[in-house]
Amino acid sequence: MYVNIKKIKDPEMVIEEFQDQYGTINSLSQRVSISKCTTKNEMEDLMVWKYLRSGAEFTEEIVLHNSDIFHILTPKRMELVDYLTKNKVTSIRKLSEVVHRNYKNTYDDLLALEKVGLVEFKRSGKSRIPTSFIVGIETIFEG
Amino acid sequence: MRVMKKKIWIHKNEMIESLVIADGSKIKFYSHTYLVKERSRGWRPCVKWDNWEGQPHVDKFDANETLIEQKPCNEKGLEEVIKLVKIFRRNLTTMDLSQL
């Protein structure tokens, strides 16, 4: 049995993240050629950036081959994921208010969800904004 | 054109990160990395198969994430890499790269 989590991200958003991290595609390209492609993340980010710039679609999948996921996907946490896939929030505190939960429990649950990629955080000044790009979760039983 | 990223959990502390860039059914670029989670340092790459500049090869990294060995190999699909990783797991880091 395995669980397949599908995400779709706006390519523009991915490019913005690269710009924040590396500046321009040329500066990343230089870094990759200096390191002779030995740095995994930089080499992959360069390829992704290059193709997204020319209009490619971007999809992400997380595949879990064990049942650990069911310990993570508690009803309360799924409620957070569900809310974040449909709504934008400006902070963790705002999220805790709209789901009527205390801040600490909401924060702890978001961290657990982040570990398996169900939730991502975007920095905005001092605060961390939780978001989720999940479009589907599938459980597959192999015969 | 599609950019597809995949994270495949093999075990709680082991996973494969895969990046495939495809134009229809033609694969333009791939990179499949076996990573292990270290207690204090997070995820670190151990072995990576990719076709940078159209040259399929396999890389091995040490504990400091420094490239220590590189060998050419056949093009590797994700399914083949998953199979190799599931068989050899952490032993991959001590294996002769020409066998991969």
B 68-97 residues inside an 8 A Cβ radius of A: none
Task: Write the ipTM.
Answer: 0.89
Nearest by CB to B2, from A40, A57, A64: name it.
A57
pLDDT in tens, B43-99: 899 999 999 989 999 999 998 888 899 999 999 999 999 999 999 988 888 888 877
Q: Are the beta carbons of B52 and A37 separated by less than 8 Å? A: yes
- pLDDT class for A126, splitting at 50, 70, 90? confident
Q: Is position A141 within any domain?
A: no
Contact state of A40 with B45 under an 8 Å Cβ cutoff? yes
* Spatial distance between the Cα atoms of B22 and B70, rounded to a whole number of angstroms: 25
Q: Considering only the beta carbons, identify the residue of A38, A55, A60 that sits closest to B67.
A: A38
Please state the domain count of chain A: 1
Residue A49 placed within a domain: no
B29 contact A CB<8A:
yes
Domain assignment present for A7: no
pLDDT in tens, B8-35: 988 888 999 999 999 999 999 999 999 9
* Residue A1 confidence class, pLDDT cut points 50, 70, 90: confident
Residue A78 lies in a domain: yes
Q: Each residue of A80-97: b (16+ CB within 10 Å) or e?
A: bbeebbeeebeebeebbe
Q: What is the pLDDT of residue A132?
A: 94
pLDDT given for residue A35 in this prediction: 77
Query: Residue A98 belongs to what domain range?
Result: 67-131
Question: What is the per-residue pLDDT for A66?
Answer: 65
Task: Report pLDDT digits (tens) over A26-35.
Answer: 999 999 988 7
Contact between A66 and B11 using a beta-carbon 8 Å cutoff: yes
Residues A60-112 pLDDT 10s: 999 987 666 778 889 999 999 999 999 999 999 999 999 999 999 999 999 99
Note every long-range contact of B62-67, with CB atoms under 8 Å and residues 24 or more positions apart, other chains counting. B63/B38, B66/A38, B67/A38
Tell whether the model's pLDDT for residue A39 goes beyond 80.
no
pLDDT at B72: 93
Question: Residue A66 and residue B9: Cβ atoms within 8 Å?
Answer: yes
- Max mean pLDDT range (A58-62, A122-126, A138-142): A58-62
Q: Give me the residue from A37, A55, A63 closest to B8, CB to CB.
A: A63
DSSP string, A26-85: HHHHHHHHHTTT--HHHHHHHHHHHHHHTT-EEEEEEEE-STTHHHH--HHHHHHHHHHH
Question: β-strands A57-64, A2-8: how paired?
Answer: antiparallel
Q: Is residue A98 part of a domain?
A: yes
pLDDT score of A124 more than 90: no
To the nearest whole Å, the CA of A131 is away from the closest chain B CA by 18
Residue A3 lies in a domain: no
C-alpha distance across the termini of chain A, in Å? 9
CATH label of the domain that carries residue A91:
1.10.10.10
Q: Answer yes or no: is A50 within a domain.
A: no
Burial of A118 by CB count in 10 Å (0-12 exposed, 13-18 middle, 19+ buried)?
Answer: buried
A-chain residues within 8 Å CB-CB of B83? none
Does residue A80 lie in a domain region? yes
